[in-house]
Structure 1
């Protein structure tokens, strides 16, 4: 059987994969929620959902640095990667072990496309359909709540030293729009480094400090409050803005809360 990933690269599988290595945390959680937990044999140290999964699976490294020998020893039928999370060097080193499927996610439609690809590959189409329907229901419910509310302007920090924000052409930017915010760095691309004197910060109604990849804490709110005393500065759950798997079911209730 021939399948296509989100980079339009083909991979050939003789049967439904029964041994999966997942190198992307949000995709690992998605697999579990699609009923594929038993088929997962290898994960990264960052695959923290569900919390007990790493106790029963082989940890093969992080998303940026994997142990090729460990992955080879697991004899996977398929390896699941992501263009942003995993480097080209990692992907190339894995191709001799098993077919590699690469996701490339920038918005909700991309996420749903990935769900459907997994549904087809792992023969869980019905579960995928139910999951997409649930997320769409949550999205519709949230949109009905905010339809008459103006968009607030937001700056979304992902890193400190150097300070970095999420800009356009990212899944976070798409989710900010889903949450009824406009990104003040929408004219820039990807994850630019900025100085705290950047004029765009003065345009923001709210400055968001993400829980990941940098673990922002309350002390960082105090740090920025000293520079922006009139701004709303808030810690936000980075998983609910950047994880594009089944965790999306929880995103819209969270957006309503914030």
Structure 2
């Protein structure tokens, strides 16, 4: 049977449970949830990312709350004090996302469906890798998660860039799980690493390529010179769940292969 009244503090468990056909278990969601749209329409919104309406959550009588990362540790601790069972996942890689889908499925008695879902994503990843081998040249990619301060891409994003056929120009940053450890101390380091593509996904606001191109010294970057600055919407790339492995990867493949066609 598993838990019957689940509150999801982030988007990825909500999307996963809907994909597994277990959406009726969900009694509350994050206010940042956009996938699937019917969840936002029908489920009560009881949390942000770093804060939550503890009283509203308790009114929903959850028997299980799902969150993500140490950033939600204080929310989890408060709920635990009230006797609520909480699962905080902390996956940061593509393999971690796949494992997360399977574990969540097992928790709600949908292990076979979750394995089938994850296996489908694995086939998509393998196909993207195979297609990437056809590229005559892999572009260097600078992925920007935030602009002030400038924060580079997290691990699963860096891995998806590689799967799609690009090379993250800040691979050493990708290994850092916390955003504060991926802040660029010197923006001119991007100039020195000379990316061919700049991809922006500013969580919660629209990416402004003209503002990026206008940064001091950045006119020397190949991506700026060639007008190769593109947005990937944050809901499909910055949540470590199904969206990143499907729509996020598809967007990366389209942008990287599009670059290759223009510059081949």
Displacement of 1:221 in angstroms is: 5.1
From the two aligned structures, give the one with the greater helix fraction. 2
In 2, the alpha carbon distance for the partners of 1:179 and 1:24 equals 26
State the Cα deviation string for residues 195-227 of structure 1 (Å, max 9, x = none): 664223332111111152443135435535983
Equivalent residue, structure 1, for 2:231: 235
Aligned Cα RMSD in Å? 2.3
Displacement of 1:251 in angstroms is: 3.4
Within 5 Å, which residues of 2 pair with 1:72-87? 72-83=58-69, 86-87=71-72
Which residue, 176, 183, 187 being the options, matches 1:193? Answer: 183
Aligned residues: 241
Which residue, 184, 198, 213 being the options, matches 2:169? Answer: 184
Q: 1:157 to 1:176 in 2, by over 3 A?
A: same
Where structure 2 has 5 or more consecutive residues not aligned to the other structure, the ranges are 256-264
Within 5 Å, which residues of 2 pair with 1:1-258? 16-83=2-69, 86-95=71-80, 96-149=82-135, 150-166=137-153, 170-188=155-173, 189-190=176-177, 191=179, 192-194=182-184, 197-203=187-193, 204-220=195-211, 222-224=213-215, 227-228=218-219, 229-231=224-226, 232-247=228-243, 248-258=245-255
Of stretches 195-204 and 73-82 in structure 1, the one that deviates more from structure 2 is 195-204
TM-score (ref. length: structure 2): 0.82
CA contact (8 A) 1:72 1:97 kept: no
TM-score (ref. length: structure 1): 0.84
Displacement of 1:81 in angstroms is: 0.7
Displacement of 1:93 in angstroms is: 0.8
In 1, the alpha carbon distance for the partners of 2:169 and 2:246 equals 26
Q: Matched residue of 1:52: which SS?
A: helix
CA contact (8 A) 1:153 1:182 kept: yes
Q: Matched residue of 1:38: which SS?
A: helix
In 2, the alpha carbon distance for the partners of 1:225 and 1:200 equals 11
Of stretches 238-247 and 149-158 in structure 1, the one that deviates more from structure 2 is 238-247
In 2, the alpha carbon distance for the partners of 1:236 and 1:196 equals 24
Equivalent residue, structure 1, for 2:258: none
Displacement of 1:246 in angstroms is: 2.2
Where structure 1 has 5 or more consecutive residues not aligned to the other structure, the ranges are 1-14
Q: 1:123 to 1:186 in 2, by over 3 A?
A: same
